[in-house]
């Protein structure tokens, strides 16, 4: 292959990559989100996110360390999420573009309830909105008067489902599956909190919820 043809092939590949990137970014802005959509996100927040993603694979083999619930609040489309210091309503484009992959695509997938009525979604959203301002659950302990991201979603749909579990709680692990030893980042984290690592306690995480048979993926931006 001549140098000219190699150069033209490189230019074509680069052009295709740029078009794909622009297409995915445009899709994230023009996709018709619906209230009740669940947004699963790879936050890339460092060691803690990596540890969360390592122990539970997400749907389609993706890695997720965060999720939120789409709603219309104060006439704006937002994502109800437990992040930072409390449960809050985040503008949807702020959420979607919070973290992107190597070519600039939002690291988010969108899932919807499969074959469930609107009343259940409405009740879940009502519960989630009622938790706005509740403190973030730094200890990742279920039912302690605060919420981490997947715990908020779990409780929202449990409340909507006549207080019966809708998603699943499973024993949590903070161990590296390759060594069966505690991730050092968790050892340091809980030492700073001054509480034991809740190994084996019931809980949930974004990857586990994303694989629920009650959900179907309707969009992936990366």
Q: How far is CA 126 from the centre of its chain?
A: 20
Judged on CB neighbours under 10 Å (0-12, 13-18, 19+), 120 is: middle
DSSP H stretches of helix in 57-109:
92-96
What local confidence, expressed as pLDDT, does residue 27 receive?
Answer: 58
The whole-chain average pLDDT of the chain stands at 88
Same-domain status, 24 and 48: no
99, 6: one domain: no
The 10s digit of each residue's pLDDT in 199-219 is: 999 999 999 999 999 999 999
28 pLDDT band (50/70/90 cuts)?
low
For the cut 80, the answer to whether the pLDDT of residue 63 exceeds it is yes
Assess whether 88 and 198 both reside in one domain.
Answer: yes
Q: What is the pLDDT of residues 3-27, one digit of tens each?
A: 434 333 333 333 333 333 434 444 5
Q: Same domain for 14 and 68?
A: no
Domain that holds residue 186: 32-220
Q: What is the pLDDT of residues 177-199, one digit of tens each?
A: 999 999 999 999 999 999 999 99
User: Tokens representing 128?
Assistant: 């989630």
Closest CA to 200 of 182, 174, 178: 174
69 shares its domain with 12: no
Q: Is the pLDDT of residue 69 over 80?
A: yes
Segment 111-128 shows an average pLDDT of: 92
- What is the pTM for the complete model shown? 0.86
Asked if residue 112 and residue 127 are part of one domain, the reply reads yes
Which tokens is 98 given?
A: 């919070």
Check whether 87 has a pLDDT greater than 80.
yes
Q: How many domains does the chain have?
A: 2
Instruction: Read off the CATH number of the domain in which 56 is found.
Output: 3.90.1720.10
Residues 23 and 36 in one domain: no
- Do the Cβ atoms of 208 and 111 come closer than 8 Å? no
């Amino acid at each position: 292959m001549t140098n000219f043809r190699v150069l033209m092939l490189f230019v074509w590949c680069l052009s295709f990559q740029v078009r794909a990137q622009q297409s995915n970014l445009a899709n994230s802005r023009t996709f018709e989100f619906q209230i009740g959509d669940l947004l699963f996100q790879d936050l890339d927040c460092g060691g803690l996110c990596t540890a969360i993603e390592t122990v539970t694979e997400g749907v389609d083999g993706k890695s997720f360390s965060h999720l939120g619930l789409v709603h219309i609040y104060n006439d704006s489309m937002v994502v109800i999420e437990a992040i930072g210091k409390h449960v809050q309503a985040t503008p949807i484009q702020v959420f979607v573009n919070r973290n992107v992959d190597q070519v600039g695509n939002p690291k988010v997938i969108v899932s919807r309830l499969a074959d469930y009525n609107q009343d259940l979604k409405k009740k879940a959203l009502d519960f989630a909105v009622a938790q706005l301002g509740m403190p973030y659950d730094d200890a990742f302990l279920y039912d302690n008067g605060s919420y981490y991201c997947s715990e908020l979603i779990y409780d929202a749909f449990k409340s909507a489902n006549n207080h019966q579990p809708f998603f699943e709680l499973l024993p949590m692990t903070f161990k590296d599956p390759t060594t069966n030893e505690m991730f050092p980042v968790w050892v340091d984290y809980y030492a700073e909190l001054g509480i034991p690592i809740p190994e084996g306690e019931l809980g949930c995480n974004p990857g586990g919820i994303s694989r629920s048979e009650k959900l179907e993926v309707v969009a992936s931006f990366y």
